[in-house]
Structure 1
Amino acid sequence: MKTLRGRTAFVTGAASGIGRAIAIALAREGVNVVLTDHDVAGLESTREEAAKLGVGATTAVCDLTQPEEITELLDRLFSAGPLHILVNCAGIALYGQQRSVKDSDWRNLMAVNLLAPMQITTHLMNLLARADEAHIVNMSSIFGLVPVRGLAAYQASKYGLVGFTLAMRNDYHRNNFGVSVICPGLVKTPMIEPDGPSKIYSKMPRIPAWLFTTPERVAHATVEAIKRDRGLVIVTFAAHVMWYLNRFFPGLVDLLNREGWRSRGAIIPEDEMQKLP
């Protein structure tokens, strides 16, 4: 987009983490923000910080696992427009072997991480297409490009979001209409904190702190993607290394994933591995 100041952006997952950082980064660019999340207190905090930057900032609470609620929200907020930027950032995570995940849990994850962005994008497409300039951003993950252990449901949603976004870019991309998918590496957000809402911290292997980046860095990369019309954006050096390894040496990545549970302690015990089909 040539001009951000004075535009209007809709950001999901704006109460905390990457969504909050993107909302604030856009507000610093002079973009009016419409924010949604299920966390009322966090959403209001983001709105207050954005409003201090001199832009319009409004909020609406929504449960992204409920398609009818999403439709009602979008009709209420954007029946008359305007809208120039859509950022689908809301996401949840599950960690562990897929056979141990509750059916309701992985279905909720797919609803928030993949089905909601697809519904929101589809619903708002005509409105965005009528703008003189518009841009769609979907927040995926390096784990939407590279396989690792213990994240089957999460990765299914993020791989799907990468595929959906790149297909949308292929179908609709033109000089004044951009589509981007952002694939950060590890990011220090409430999702992976000990008392975070996803409750996955205790199940995850310990990861060195230096491998994590900040939500603010991801937000900066997102704003640059909007300005420069970038399609696939990978954030952090470690994420780039993982991506290149998987592209050019997939057998090595497969070996590392297979041998990793042997060296660090199996999520599935050795005797249980014998029982798997």
Structure 2
Amino acid sequence: MSIFSLQGKTAVITGGASGIGKAITTAFAKQGAQVHILEFNEESGNLAVEEINNNGGKAYFYQCDVSNHQQVKDVINTIAAQQPIDILVNNAGIAHVGNVENTEESDLDRIYNVNVKGVYNCMHAVVPKMKANGGGVILNMASIASSVGISDRFAYSMSKGAALTMTYSVAKDYVNDGIRCNCISPARVHTPFVDGFIKKNYPGKEEEMFEALSKTQPIGRMGKPEEIANLALYLCSDEASFITGTDFPIDGGFIKLNG
């Protein structure tokens, strides 16, 4: 059996059809997991499932708004009725640029509903299933913004700080139930979202801004989705069975070396 095998395990991955989420879904499927993608965008979800299944994996798609409590509960119940849920990756999230003055109430609510309530909804639905099955692994996607100040990321930082502390709380509360809960804190990762952000906010200066944003990491470049996925794979594998209640920065030195 290969190291970091997920053979025979069932993984639920939110936002698993694009960017970091797709990389995680692909990595888990390659290691033998049956992956269940919860994704708001139906087209992206179907394409991701098709791609994985065509490459020998096992994937299923559920159109789901993670901010909708009942919808999440219904999807989790559907999956759990078929097989035990071994892994939950709370990856779905949205971004916002702005400080406290130019963040509107509607902006704050929108970020909270997906990035905070969405994580709560999924854990609230999955934890009882994991308890009944004797344990499981939960991995939340936090951010370097959970730990250090990032300019013009007021609402986003709020939400990722919540992801970090929810991780600690769940790890503490359910350690005796065999549930491990950790989180990953990436710095800037090169995804289609980043390309879209640069194109929208810096038209005509895309190459220049990409280079500038890349250099904000001391290592001199953005992370790759596959690098985040590899860390997620380790933390959700049996090889990481001694790890819980921990945040893992993967940031090209951003937190420790930018001082």
User: Does TM, normalized by the shorter one, top 0.5?
Assistant: yes
C-alpha deviations, 1:247-270, integer Å up to 9, x for none?
Answer: xxxxx6xxxxxxxxxxxxxxxxxx
Secondary structure of the residue aligned to 2:248 is strand
Select 1:226's aligned residue among 210, 222, 236: 236
In the alignment, residue 214 of structure 2 is paired with which amino acid? Answer: P
Secondary structure of the residue aligned to 1:98 is coil
C-alpha deviations, 1:77-101, integer Å up to 9, x for none?
Answer: 3345421000000011001223222
Does residue 208 of structure 1 match 2:208?
Answer: no
CA deviation after TM superposition for structure 1 residue 3, in Å = 5.6
Select 1:127's aligned residue among 126, 129, 134: 129
CA deviation after TM superposition for structure 1 residue 194, in Å = 2.8
Select 1:4's aligned residue among 3, 6, 24: 6
CA deviation after TM superposition for structure 1 residue 114, in Å = 1.0
Q: Normalised by the size of structure 2, how large is the TM-score? A: 0.84
- With over 3 angstroms needed to count, the CA separation of the structure-2 counterparts of 1:102 and 1:175, relative to structure 1, is closer
Does the CA contact (< 8 Å) of 1:190 and 1:196 recur in 2? Answer: no
Quote the residue 2:154 is aligned against. Answer: 152
- With over 3 angstroms needed to count, the CA separation of the structure-2 counterparts of 1:129 and 1:58, relative to structure 1, is same
- With over 3 angstroms needed to count, the CA separation of the structure-2 counterparts of 1:70 and 1:80, relative to structure 1, is same
State the distance in 1 between where 2:168 and 2:231 align: 18
Quote the residue 1:183 is aligned against. Answer: 185
- Structure 2: runs of 5+ lacking an equivalent: none
Quote the residue 1:164 is aligned against. Answer: 166
- With over 3 angstroms needed to count, the CA separation of the structure-2 counterparts of 1:240 and 1:121, relative to structure 1, is same
Does the CA contact (< 8 Å) of 1:38 and 1:63 recur in 2? Answer: yes
State the distance in 2 between where 1:184 and 1:145 align: 11
State the distance in 2 between where 1:65 and 1:132 align: 27
Query: RMSD in angstroms over aligned alpha carbons?
Result: 2.6
CA deviation after TM superposition for structure 1 residue 68, in Å = 3.0
CA deviation after TM superposition for structure 1 residue 128, in Å = 1.3
Select 2:138's aligned residue among 136, 161, 176: 136
- With over 3 angstroms needed to count, the CA separation of the structure-2 counterparts of 1:3 and 1:190, relative to structure 1, is closer
In the alignment, residue 239 of structure 1 is paired with which amino acid? Answer: F
Secondary structure of the residue aligned to 2:249 is strand
Aligned residues: 242
- With over 3 angstroms needed to count, the CA separation of the structure-2 counterparts of 1:2 and 1:238, relative to structure 1, is closer
State the distance in 2 between where 1:200 and 1:88 align: 28
1:31-180 superposed matches below 5 A: 31-173=33-175, 176-180=178-182
- With over 3 angstroms needed to count, the CA separation of the structure-2 counterparts of 1:28 and 1:185, relative to structure 1, is same
Quote the residue 1:239 is aligned against. Answer: 254
More displaced stretch, 29-38 vs 61-70: 61-70
Quote the residue 2:18 is aligned against. Answer: 16
State the distance in 1 between where 2:122 and 2:159 align: 15
Q: Which has the larger radius of gyration?
A: 1
Secondary structure of the residue aligned to 1:158 is helix
Q: Normalised by the size of structure 1, how large is the TM-score? A: 0.79
